Amino acid sequence: MKHLRIATAAEQSADFRRVLWTGEHTQIVSMTIPPGGEIGEETHPDNDQILIFLSGVGEARIDGEVEPVTDGDLVCVPAGALHNFVNTGPNPLVLFTVYGPPDHAPDAVHHTKEEADAAEESGEDEPPA
């Protein structure tokens, strides 16, 4: 069993992406998107995703719809939906996300979006088989 204060873990990490726990069917990841940054437009064909926003302000862009997001908001992204999350504020947009099934390599840490993109392109960020 892993026990942690999720808000504290996410708030204390300046990493773009940090896998906090990976199980057989789900995975929890903290993310920090810098001002002016974004996750990047993507689709997860086999993964549902739930995002919980802890601080900052931004936009959720899902299948052509745009909605503001801020601390306390929860957004559900069904498998196959084209999505992106953009930081529109002056401070980091901090969130945690749950993937079902896992989408990233267990214990992966990517300090920047560029590092995360490179790991995905090289295949180093593959979820467990």
Domain range annotation of the chain: 8-24+31-64+91-122
User: Could you tell me the pLDDT band of residue 1, with boundaries at 50, 70 and 90?
Assistant: low
Confidence (pLDDT) at 129? 66
Residue 99, SS3 per DSSP: strand
Closest CA to 73 of 99, 104, 46, 96: 96
Question: HSE (CB half, 13 Å, CA atoms) of 37?
Answer: 17
Q: Tell me the pLDDT tens digit for each residue of 33-66.
A: 999 999 999 999 999 999 999 999 999 999 999 9
Average pLDDT of the residues of the chain = 90
Min mean pLDDT across 3-7, 33-37, 65-69 is at 3-7
- The CA distance from 129 to 116, in Å, is 20
CB-neighbour burial class of residue 87 (10 A; exposed 0-12, middle 13-18, buried 19+): buried
Q: Tell me the pLDDT tens digit for each residue of 74-90.
A: 999 999 999 999 999 99
Q: What is the CATH number of domain 8-24+31-64+91-122?
A: 2.60.120.10
